[in-house]
Amino acid sequence: MRIGVPTEVKDHEFRVALTPAGVDTLVRSGHQVTVQAGAGQGAGIADEQYQAAGATLAAGAGRVWGDAEMILKVKEPLPSEFGYLREDLLLFTYLHLAADRGLTEALLDKRVTAVAYETVADDDGGLPLLAPMSEIAGRLGAQVGADALLAPNGGSGVLLGGAAGVRRGNVVVLGGGTAGFAAARVAAGMGADVTVMDVNPARMRQIDELTGGTVRTRFSTPLDVAGAVADADLVIGAVLVPGARTPRLVTHEMVKAMRPGSVLVDIAIDQGGCFEDSRVTTHSEPTYQVDGKIFYAVGNMPGAVSYTSTYALTNATLPYAAALADAGWREACRGDAALARGLAVHDGALYTAGVGQALDLELADVAALLG
């Protein structure tokens, strides 16, 4: 199969979809890999490393997209890339369609076949391609939240670890999944008082056991969330409904009740965000204020740590990319239920239930498609 790896075009997105080791693996299996020149520069990977691994370099995105049967990306195509979409193309990347009607309609109109990293799910409900980026985003969530709390950045001036005789920062994490737990552990490591709110008693019990009680857990209801948020210095939203739009758990009224200079970090912004006042920001302008509270809602947080993220992503996606290349998307999905769950669109039809519900679009049956 002819595989293309273009340079990411999202604001300050320094990741690349494939490492040289990934190129080597695919080339050894008989596939052709074309990498756009400079695609790996932001992750510290030189063009020469790709060439040494067996890749062909292409000067522009047009050639990479035009020659490829499968495109490997990190982030969803932006409007500037919609012109590259076509009927005979297989796209393998993060899509987050439930929060993006424009992209969904473009993929459907161009009759692209696309498998979304974030909805590839194993039989136990695990998300193997989302997990590594969720972990990184969670760890970053605590870091950027602590930074936003600094007075020169408009924050309240609270140090998460406190000081002798002075209270520690109060951190509330909404969602105890991969991202939420990673955020909680880093915040606790900074010395903060941390509470994770979730609706899964088994998961809360697990967090309590893994942290020895240093991270508190609390059942999430609207009333309890309102009370916890009002007393928080930093709120980290890490709620996930796979493939669907994220519920908005923190209302504008809750934000108004917070102390001035408090910070809200919305890790769930790719799926629409879990704060009512959330809107997507960029690494160029990561924060904004609402009623004197600071919001951070960057849609590609792991792009800021591009070296770590690129290698972690390839480690997770490579086996699936190889399966798609070796067998073709249809046979690969027939042979692996996890990949079949990741099929988002094909030939003008939508296959992700959460996206259909969020955008009020007709849903097709993947089982009927695959026979």
Q: How far is CA 115 from CA 83, 124, 150, 255, 358, in A?
A: 19, 19, 41, 37, 18
Buried b (16+ CB within 10 A) or exposed e, 170-186: bbbbbbbbbbbbbbbbb
Cβ atoms of 174 and 220 closer than 8 Å: yes
Contact 186, 180 (CB under 8 A): no
Token pair for residue 236? 């980290």
Q: What is the pLDDT of residues 136-145, one digit of tens each?
A: 999 999 999 9
pLDDT, averaged per 10 consecutive residues of the chain (371 residues), comes to 97 96 98 98 98 97 97 97 98 94 97 97 93 96 98 98 97 97 98 97 96 96 98 96 88 98 96 95 96 96 96 97 98 97 97 93 95 86
How high is the pLDDT of residue 27?
A: 98
CA dihedral 282→74→241→284, nearest 10 degrees, is -10
pLDDT tens sequence across 95-138? 999 989 999 999 999 999 999 999 999 998 899 999 999 999 99
**C-alpha 140: how far from chain center:** 12
Q: What are phi and psi of 275, to 5 degrees?
A: -115, 140
Give the separation between CA 224 and CA 219, rounded to whole angstroms: 8
**Which two structure tokens, joined as six digits, stand for 150?**
């600094």
The DSSP call for residue 166 is B
What does the pLDDT read at residue 274? 95
Which SS3 state, helix, strand or coil, does residue 15 take? Answer: coil
Cα(220)–Cα(227) distance, rounded to whole angstroms? 11
The predicted pLDDT at position 245 comes to 86
> Residues 6 or more apart from 347 whose CB is under 8 A from it?
87, 111, 113
What are the angstrom distances between the C-alpha of 96 and each of 24, 130, 151, 154, 348?
A: 29, 11, 34, 31, 17
Residue 78: partners with Cβ closer than 8 Å, 6 or more residues away? 9, 10
Query: Longest C-alpha distance within the chain, in Å?
Result: 67
What sign has the CA pseudo-torsion 61, 79, 296, 138? negative
Cβ-based neighbour number of residue 269 at 10 Å: 26
d(CA 303, CA 29): 29
* Strand partners for 349: 346
Q: Which residues are the active-site residues?
A: 96, 270
HSE-CB at 188 with a 13 A cutoff on CA atoms is: 20
Output b/e per residue, 249-263; b: 16+ Cβ within 10 A: bbbeebbebbeebbb
Per-residue confidence (pLDDT) for residue 53, from 0 to 100: 98
Question: For residues 31 and 95, is the Cβ–Cβ distance under 8 A?
Answer: no
Which residue type does 155 have? Answer: G
Tokens (6 digits) for 343: 């099929």
